[in-house]
């Protein structure tokens, strides 16, 4: 590779890392699922371990890591920095592992591509488990790739791969899905490269090592059976196109339906024409995408931009490998394509960073704190909105995720009855109060006839119907912040 090409790729790398740091400075607020992460991490350790399966589909490993990080500081910017630093380690890891397997030039290309992939930037500035998951699967893939190449592995390498597989599986609710494909392609390729017993033995060892990892998947599968998931539930081509656009070009990309399908052709098809990128791209990008769509249409809705984004590191590896080989071989059309795609990714990354703004709670909390009476009552739709608005109220100290919960119903009510008097009941698995006090103000995470009957005027955050909670009530005031609506209602 020429000196100019190296300089260009290093500039792209620095740009990608710099944009991550800028995003933390420019938009250091928490939204929706990030509030969930912060609430889990800032809870006492015992409560964290109980609250994660109580409220979430994802396993607890990420929240445990974030819990210890939050012990140093609990500001929003500090918490988000956790994701940024881990994702920076992902960039360095991709440079190292791709360089060790395919050569330094490929490693540089792979790291540069990943650094400006808009979805990697979105995940890097989110207080969620994606960066940690990426770090684990990159090293898992590397250890198994070395194993395939050498036809054997040391005891340390085998144990390391098992631990990484367990870590990835227990980091994200769909981690087991990606880990399954990493192991599956390793088994098949290991068997294919060897002949007779020479191929069977390493393949059998990989299958054996996968057994504890597969058993760990039972956590997410068991929890997922009872949780509602997001994603495409029918063959809605427009919705599929939007999710493809977000996964490829990040947030706020123009004409998302068209961009999704065109982007898929431009980014996801070319690696099939590369001798070295084809196999990896098929096994770890295209086949998982097709499987996610099939599962979404037949079993459970899981096809969406966040689940597609789990494949981002492998898309970066296959693209970087394809582009590096194109420049080495001097194939003009592939070289032009690589430059065009890199420019497109840089533009999309900038667009996503500049135009996308999180639906933070800090603004709406400040409005309620300023406008509401000293004894005001606020209703939120669920615990997440309660955690979000109370996080920024000066009268509210940090509290456990288990502390305040709406009354349980249906299956949870049955489970609560079964656990009455047990350790879980005494630990507050189903909550110690049904409302939160913010000074003399009261915040309810639910609304029904019993608590509505106690008030003549009240506030409501993000009402489901966009109106006051009782038909006869009149709207006294309406306030709005980024993605949030706050109503002040009273009796007519």
Domain residue ranges of the chain, discontinuous segments joined by +: 3-355, 362-491
- Cβ atoms of residues 20 and 121 within 8 Å: yes
- Cβ atoms of residues 209 and 158 within 8 Å: yes
- The pair of structure tokens assigned to 343 is 């420019």
Taking CA atoms, 205 is separated from 24, 208, 209, 215, in Å, by 43, 5, 6, 16
- Cβ atoms of residues 101 and 142 within 8 Å: yes
- Cβ atoms of residues 84 and 123 within 8 Å: no
**What pLDDT, on a 0 to 100 scale, did the predictor assign at position 71?**
95
β partners of residue 437: 442
- The two beta strands, 457-461 and 436-438, are unpaired
3-state secondary structure of 306: helix
**What pLDDT, on a 0 to 100 scale, did the predictor assign at position 193?**
66
Residues of the chain below pLDDT 70: 1, 193-199
Say how far apart CA 342 and CA 339 lie, in whole Å: 5
3-state secondary structure of 482: coil
- In a 13 Å sphere around the CA of 120, the CA atoms on its Cβ side amount to 30
3-state secondary structure of 235: coil
- The pair of structure tokens assigned to 239 is 């919705």
**What pLDDT, on a 0 to 100 scale, did the predictor assign at position 483?**
85
3-state secondary structure string across 319-339: HHHHHHHHHHHCCHHHHHHHH
Dihedral sign computed on CA atoms, order 483, 79, 129, 53: negative
- Cβ atoms of residues 484 and 365 within 8 Å: no
pTM assigned to the model:
0.95
- The pair of structure tokens assigned to 422 is 């047990």
Q: Which residues of 76-90 are buried (b: 16+ CB within 10 A; e: fewer)?
A: beebbbbbbebbbeb
**What pLDDT, on a 0 to 100 scale, did the predictor assign at position 417?**
86
Dihedral sign computed on CA atoms, order 143, 149, 153, 156: negative
Q: Is 304 left (phi over 0), alpha (psi -120 to 50) or beta?
A: beta
Say how far apart CA 404 and CA 389 lie, in whole Å: 14
- The pair of structure tokens assigned to 417 is 């009855």
Q: How many other CB atoms sit within 10 Å of the CB of residue 163?
A: 16
- Cβ atoms of residues 389 and 364 within 8 Å: yes
H helix or E strand, kind and range, residue 486: strand 484-491
Instruction: Say how many residues make up the chain.
Output: 492
**What pLDDT, on a 0 to 100 scale, did the predictor assign at position 27?**
76
Say how far apart CA 138 and CA 317 lie, in whole Å: 10
- The pair of structure tokens assigned to 179 is 């880990």
Residue with tokens 């690589």: 338
Residue with tokens 């006492």: 44
**Which residue, among 305, 297, 309, has the nearest Cα to 243 in the 3D structure?**
305
The maximal CA–CA distance of the chain, rounded, in angstroms, is: 83
**What pLDDT, on a 0 to 100 scale, did the predictor assign at position 491?**
84
Residue with tokens 């590369």: 274
- Helix, strand, coil percent values for the chain (each to nearest 5): 65, 10, 30
Say how far apart CA 480 and CA 492 lie, in whole Å: 23
- Cβ atoms of residues 85 and 97 within 8 Å: no
**What pLDDT, on a 0 to 100 scale, did the predictor assign at position 293?**
96
């Amino acid at each position: 590779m020429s000196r100019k090409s190296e300089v260009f790729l290093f500039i792209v790398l620095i740009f990608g890392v710099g944009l991550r740091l800028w995003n933390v400075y420019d938009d250091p607020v928490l939204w929706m699922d990030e509030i969930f992460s912060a609430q889990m991490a800032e809870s006492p350790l015992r409560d964290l371990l109980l609250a994660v399966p109580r409220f979430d589909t994802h396993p607890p490993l990420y929240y445990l890591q974030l819990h210890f990080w939050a012990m140093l500081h609990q500001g929003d910017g500090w918490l988000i920095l956790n994701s940024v630093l881990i994702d920076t380690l992902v960039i360095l890891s991709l440079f190292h592992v791709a360089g060790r397997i395919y050569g330094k030039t490929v490693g540089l290309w792979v790291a540069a591509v990943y650094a400006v992939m808009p979805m990697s930037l979105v995940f890097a500035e989110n207080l969620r488990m994606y960066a940690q998951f990426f770090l684990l699967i990159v090293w898992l893939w590397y250890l198994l790739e070395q194993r395939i190449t050498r036809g054997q592995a040391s005891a340390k390498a085998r144990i390391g791969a098992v631990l990484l597989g367990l870590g990835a599986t227990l980091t994200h609710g769909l981690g087991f899905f990606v880990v399954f494909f990493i192991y599956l392609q390793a088994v098949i390729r290991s068997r294919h490269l060897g002949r007779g017993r020479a191929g069977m033995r390493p393949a059998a060892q990989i299958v054996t090592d996968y057994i504890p990892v597969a058993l760990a998947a039972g956590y997410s599968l068991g929890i997922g059976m009872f949780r509602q998931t997001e994603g495409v539930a029918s063959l809605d081509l427009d919705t599929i196109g939007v999710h493809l656009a977000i996964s490829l070009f990040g947030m706020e990309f123009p004409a998302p339906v068209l961009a999704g399908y065109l982007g898929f052709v431009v980014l996801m098809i070319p690696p099939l024409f590369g001798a070295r990128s084809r196999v990896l791209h098929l096994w770890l990008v295209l086949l998982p995408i097709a499987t996610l769509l099939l599962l979404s249409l037949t079993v459970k809705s899981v096809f969406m931009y966040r689940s597609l984004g789990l494949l981002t590191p492998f898309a970066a590896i296959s693209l970087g490998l394809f582009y590096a080989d194109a420049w080495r071989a001097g194939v003009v059309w592939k070289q032009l394509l690589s430059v065009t795609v890199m420019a497109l990714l840089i533009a999309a990354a900038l667009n996503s960073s500049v135009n996308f703004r999180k639906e933070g709670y800090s603004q709406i909390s400040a409005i309620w704190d300023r406008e509401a009476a000293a004894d005001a009552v606020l209703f939120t739709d669920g615990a997440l909105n309660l955690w979000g608005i109370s996080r920024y109220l000066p009268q509210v100290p940090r509290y456990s995720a288990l502390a305040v919960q709406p009354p349980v119903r249906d299956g949870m009510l049955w489970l609560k009855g079964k656990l009455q008097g047990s350790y879980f009941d005494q630990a507050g698995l189903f909550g110690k109060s049904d409302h939160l006090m913010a000074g003399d103000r009261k915040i309810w995470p639910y609304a029904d006839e019993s608590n509505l009957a106690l008030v003549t005027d009240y506030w409501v955050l993000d009402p489901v119907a966009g109106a006051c909670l009782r038909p006869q009530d009149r709207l006294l005031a309406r306030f709005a912040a980024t993605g949030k609506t706050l109503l002040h209602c009273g009796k007519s």
